[in-house]
Amino acid sequence: MQPDFHPLAGIRVVEMTHMIMGPSCGMFLGMLGAEVIKVEPPEGDKTRNLTGMGRPFFPLFNRGKKSVQLDLKSNDGRQALDALLASADVFVDNFRDASLARMGADPDDLRRRFPGLVLASHKGFLSGPYQDRTALDEVVQMMTGLAYMTGPTGRPLRVGSSANDIMGGLFGAFAVVAALLERNRTGVGRSLRVGLFENCLLLVAQHMVQFELEGVDPPPMPERTFSWPVYDIFDTADGKQMFVGAVTEGQWAALCGFLGLSGLLADPNLQTRMDQIDARDRTIPVVAAAIARRRSTDLSREFEALGIPYSPIAKPSDMYFDPHVMRPGGLVSSRTAEGDAFRAPSLPIDVDGAMINAGGDVPALGADTSRVLGDLGFDADTIRKARGAAKKTA
């Protein structure tokens, strides 16, 4: 049974965002029970129309939100935004401050007019020399050394997802929850700024600190000096690939015993973990040959039983068939604004022993405009003017 876990119920979030970083912050807050109202221009968030690898951006990160359509170039639209913000607890954005000011949402002005509001701005950089630079996930991966560490020498490579954007949104949500807790005591909100660059900096901190402590730059991950006897990708007899690790003396003994490598177990020069690490040039080919004689299903079964770290090399689409992902709560079903069904992960936490059903459908453009603004006292004619040239009606 999925737990009823909505700790942010009763919290209203007004969100003016696009792409991933800001929308993911709103998504996380919504998954915790907040009411998230996404303010969109008359033509809608441009992310709605992306194709290819960008197609999932809008439906994935805007699940469970409400859509209010406002023309912020008009006085009616700005008055409606003011009323929305006056009713809100949190304002989430990821636009430049100058753009926000043109839309009637200048951060300094909001701080003055709505002292109880928590402002969560998602930017490329925190305050400092780079604060006005344009940033993208790929840009900060190149700047911080993450791309250098991911690809081989001379071939910097971004990681295979929008990891910084998503993690930046998570830090935004984390900071919002903390600011709301503080507001319970003080009655005053905070101005929060989340930096994509600083987020990525934290991801490479382990490599920075290695340099700090040892005085040498660590090599890129594909060329790293191994700290474990076995920590590699191997080919199997059925033409698949599998990562296998043996990082303790017990795992080394279990792996060699299962694979029938009694010679390695008996070798007097392989009796300590450092011996095994130093001898990788001659032991890994032996292990690889033994694994290549076995099928992946047999290897998985035995490795599971022996407690040996392993994993098949999976594609993202394989996750729809993974038994752990398919357990109750692992995937949440949603529908796009056009009615297409899709499944996506929920929050990666258990609450009282079960995952929560946190997701929701994707709102059509402006689907909640009339209801939300009507609740704030606006009449139908004023709402029509405030939303501008609507493509869809609510």
Q: Which residues are tagged catalytic?
A: 165
Q: Are strands 35-40 and 66-69 parallel, antiparallel or unpaired?
A: parallel
* Contact present, 93 and 15 (Cβ < 8 Å): yes
DSSP 336-386: -TTS-EEEEE--S-EETTEE-----PPPPTTTTHHHHHHHTT--HHHHHHH
Q: Pull the structure tokens for residue 308.
A: 């040996």
d(CA 180, CA 62): 22
Question: What is the three-class DSSP state of 332?
Answer: strand
Question: What is the three-class DSSP state of 171?
Answer: helix
d(CA 127, CA 85): 25
d(CA 194, CA 336): 29
Long-range contacts (CB closer than 8 Å, 24 or more residues apart) made by 186-193: 187/116, 188/115, 188/116, 189/111, 189/114, 189/115, 189/116, 189/117, 189/118, 189/119, 190/118, 190/119, 191/107, 191/111, 191/119, 191/121, 192/118, 192/119, 192/120, 192/121, 193/121, 193/123, 193/126, 193/127
DSSP state of 27: H
Closest CA to 232 of 125, 348, 126, 310: 310
Residue 334, sorted as left (phi over 0), alpha (psi -120 to 50) or beta, turns out to be: beta
Note the Cα 355 to chain centre separation in Å: 17
- What amino acid occupies position 49? N
CA dist 285 → 146, 230, 244 (Å): 30, 11, 13
Q: Pull the structure tokens for residue 216.
A: 């040498």
* Contact present, 230 and 250 (Cβ < 8 Å): no
